[in-house]
């Protein structure tokens, strides 16, 4: 960028010098125009004298020669002025190119700053980096996972209960969770019940119609439905790992007594 800035300053200096040259060329044009005007007047005067035989032919020829010289000098001065003006236009175009190079260099610098800031990765959640395979010097490609972070505040338990038990399970029910590798009980509560499961015997065909297998066992097992358990508190010494196996017990809410009154007779 410094080189581009130096180029701009160089072109500006050349334009200043060239503008001075244009001014000098304009002065030469004006001087040549004045000399040509005087030569034209002199030529006309001596031509008139020669026609009246009041002047010599030599003087007429000299004034005519001087007129042609002044005409040529004016053309040369005008040509030099035009060249100087075109040179200024060329320098201005080159200066514009140098200014564009500065703008491009600034854009590249800003992009480099953004890329530098992006080299520092900050996790948006609390958690732990897992399955770290990246090493110092590796390149990160757009759209390719390099680091995986497990959100420490997003653990839950999926408990699979038979559909015959769903009627007694409600959101907010307390739950006891026992991990396979720990004897400590973890407390939680029901956060929700899944509203859809896969039915292997009713896949749709190409026309969207359910395809039912004609061979079907009449002893049908109860489907298991996922029930999400929210973990309220993790006891000290228990390390949660996504994918662990747990046993879940849900405490059903006690039934409220009905407000019934004896019939009066």
pLDDT digit string (tens) for 76-97? Answer: 777 777 777 777 777 777 777 6
Give residue 206's pLDDT.
Answer: 78
Domain with CATH 2.40.30.170 in the chain: 154-196+220-250
Strands (E), 14-132: 127-130
246-250: average pLDDT: 93
Distance from the Cα of residue 51 to its chain's centroid: 86
CB 162 within 8 A of CB 222: yes
**pLDDT category, 179, cuts 50, 70, 90?**
very high
**pLDDT category, 263, cuts 50, 70, 90?**
very low
Asked if pLDDT for residue 262 goes beyond 50, the answer is no
Question: 109: which 2 tokens?
Answer: 């610098």
Tell me the C-alpha distance between 25 and 19, whole Å. Answer: 10
**pLDDT category, 38, cuts 50, 70, 90?**
low
Tell me which CATH code domain 2-118 carries: 1.10.287.620
Q: Which residue has the higher pLDDT, 79 or 240?
A: 240
Give residue 2's pLDDT.
Answer: 64
Asked if pLDDT for residue 213 goes beyond 80, the answer is no
Whole-number percent of the chain with pLDDT over 90: 18
**pLDDT category, 59, cuts 50, 70, 90?**
low
Tell me the C-alpha distance between 149 and 131, whole Å. Answer: 9
Q: 154-196+220-250, what's its fold?
A: Elongation Factor Tu (Ef-tu); domain 3 (2.40.30)
Q: Which residue has the higher pLDDT, 175 or 7?
A: 175
Tell me the C-alpha distance between 149 and 157, whole Å. Answer: 19
Among 25-34, 132-141, 227-236, 253-262, whose mean pLDDT is lowest? 253-262
Burial label, 91 (beta-carbon count in 10 A; 0-12, 13-18, 19+):
buried
Give residue 40's pLDDT.
Answer: 67
**pLDDT category, 13, cuts 50, 70, 90?**
low
How confident is the prediction for the chain on average, in pLDDT?
A: 76
Give residue 265's pLDDT.
Answer: 32
Choose from 64-73, 109-118, 249-258 the range with maximum mean pLDDT. 109-118
5-22: average pLDDT: 65
């Amino acid at each position: 960028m410094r080189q581009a800035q130096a180029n701009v300053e160089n072109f500006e200096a050349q334009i200043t010098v060239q503008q001075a040259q244009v001014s000098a060329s304009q002065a030469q044009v004006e001087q040549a125009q004045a000399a040509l005007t005087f030569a034209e007047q002199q030529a006309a005067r001596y031509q008139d004298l020669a026609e009246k035989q009041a002047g010599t032919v030599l003087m007429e020829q000299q004034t005519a020669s001087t007129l042609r010289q002044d005409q040529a000098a004016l053309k040369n001065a005008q040509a030099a002025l035009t060249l100087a003006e075109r040179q200024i236009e060329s320098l201005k175009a080159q200066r514009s190119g140098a200014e564009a190079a500065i703008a491009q260099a600034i854009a590249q610098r800003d992009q480099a700053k953004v890329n530098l800031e992006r080299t520092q990765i900050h996790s948006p959640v609390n958690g732990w980096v897992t399955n770290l395979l990246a090493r110092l010097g590796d390149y990160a490609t757009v759209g390719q996972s390099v680091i995986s972070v497990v959100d420490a505040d997003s653990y839950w338990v999926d408990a699979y209960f038979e559909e015959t038990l769903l009627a007694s399970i409600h959101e907010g029910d307390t739950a006891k969770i026992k991990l396979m590798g720990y004897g400590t009980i973890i407390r939680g509560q029901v956060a929700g019940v899944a509203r859809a499961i896969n039915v292997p015997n009713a896949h749709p065909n190409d026309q969207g119609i359910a395809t039912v297998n004609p061979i079907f066992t009449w002893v049908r097992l109860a489907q298991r439905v996922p029930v999400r358990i929210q973990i309220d508190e993790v006891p000290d010494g228990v390390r949660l790992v996504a994918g662990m196996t747990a046993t879940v017990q849900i405490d059903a809410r006690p039934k409220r007594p009905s407000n019934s009154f004896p019939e009066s007779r």
